[in-house]
Chains A and B, each alone.
Chain A
């Protein structure tokens, strides 16, 4: 990836992180940790990779995206907002009564959201259905989905993986946000889904393991997936939960907790400084 593009994506990811914090702070609830950990991927997909049009969110030949780990909705909303699907200022309405930015993605009311999600394990099946539809009706677009590592403890993930492998849905790319933390503790302590690479391989998938905060690796893996013609691809992203906000990084407690005013001020300062350094 050339330096210019990398800089643009770094700026986008930083703005996404700032809006995640703005939204969750305003909501006084939500999931900052797992939203921050996928911000780099979201920037890459929406600011570079995917065929989408903010002016025409439902254009038929668009690539589809399903946030299977629907609790990372702030990351999806922030990405869509900065990409121009709706005003960035709307982020502070997140989770407010009557606002369209629901706690988990709502495809009926939010421009750019391709699938409602939030009940873990279901999103990947929906993405599989989209990929099946694209293959069956001979449409060229691809389907991207993001799973949580803890989410992979849901049996439905493996039902979906079995089906996608069996039906050779090569137009599907599933990213796993492997930050190794879930609500009740580290994945290892709770009920480890590892080794995810071997599991997805066993289910007939092409598997690539990357650093989920490295744009070169994200791009390389995503493009490599497009060259595989007989298997879906799982990209296991090693990530840092809470990435970009110092006190949230690798701290389990920030899975589903909003920063108070003091913590918010610290996060804003850090992210604004990071953004200034990138400009």
Chain B
């Protein structure tokens, strides 16, 4: 896919904030000394008087954001996923989640594709952590286009939204007429033998896996699940009934993420095998992002292998 245009989802976040800034002035953007990296810096540059840097104090930033939201104003609060979902978990739960306030948390540098910074900065737990907060909406966009559209949808959402973005430039999968809707999975490829439900940067890999499997005579359905909570159970149930086996693919721990959400739903409603591809209960490590994705088995070939195993279970 060397000729495919690649942009990081965090760039979609920054670009959408700037566009929103041109459209409306009823919101504030906050960061915790990472504006250049999270891409809120683009908004800061365009609208310096509407940007507030909290310094390196993520918990404080989340509670400040809650206070702003409690006055009826919109607010984005940004940091790396590790320090948003991790360090500031309790502030998000108690200051934002419990009162169900309209704060959009822009969490970038999620997953192992952070790369060289290593395990301390590679958050593979954030979806799991955020899923436990009642009323939290979690969105993990697949590409730049979806990230851009999801940010614009999130600002109008009633209740807190956790948005997960990546550092690494990844293939742009969707074109401008792609429609994003919170809570809706999207079937990208039709298929009957197995369904691959992917999220984030694994969506592009899943589309590659589709071609690999197609050449082997395996018909794989591909679903992009950008919203992990609330889960689009309708599309999951339909896939389980029609293809009989599911593979989930995420750049996140297999504990607590998309795979868990799908398994939890299906085990109670329509039990079928769910094979989870993700980070297997281990910390990350330093290295170039693309080498790490190879090393951790988060590639199209790895998805294809899971799909073969899933199909074999049907025999």
Contact = CB atoms under 8 A, between A and B. Distances in A.
Nearest to A70: B94
Interface string A104-134: 0011100000111011011101111111111
A108 B54 CA distance: 27
A130 B68 contact: yes
15 contacts: A60-B72, A107-B99, A108-B100, A119-B91, A125-B67, A126-B95, A128-B60, A134-B71, A137-B73, A159-B57, A159-B59, A159-B60, A162-B57, A163-B60, A163-B64
A114 B60 CA distance: 18
Contacts of B98: 106, 116
A156 interface: yes
B63 interface: yes
A17 interface: no
Given A119-B94, A132-B52, A126 B60 contact: no
A126 B63 contact: yes
A119 B95 CA distance: 8
Given A132-B52, A159-B57, A160-B60, A116 B68 contact: no
B55 interface: yes
Interface of B: 28, 50, 52, 54-55, 57, 59-60, 62-73, 75, 90-91, 94-95, 98-100
Contacts of A257: none
Which 6 residue pairs of A and B lie closest in terms of their CB atoms, listed nearest first? A129-B67, A125-B63, A159-B60, A126-B67, A129-B64, A159-B57
Interface string A59-78: 01000101000000000000
Nearest to A58: B72
A133 B28 contact: yes
A121 to B, nearest CB: 8
Contacts of A167: 52
B63 A160 contact: yes
A125 B28 contact: no
A107 B99 CA distance: 7
Nearest to B97: A116
A123 B95 CA distance: 8
A123 B67 CA distance: 9
Contacts of B70: 64, 107, 114-115, 126, 129-130
B188 to A, nearest CB: 38
Nearest to B65: A129
Contacts of A166: 55
Nearest to A123: B63
Contacts of A66: 67
A136 interface: yes
Contacts of B75: 129
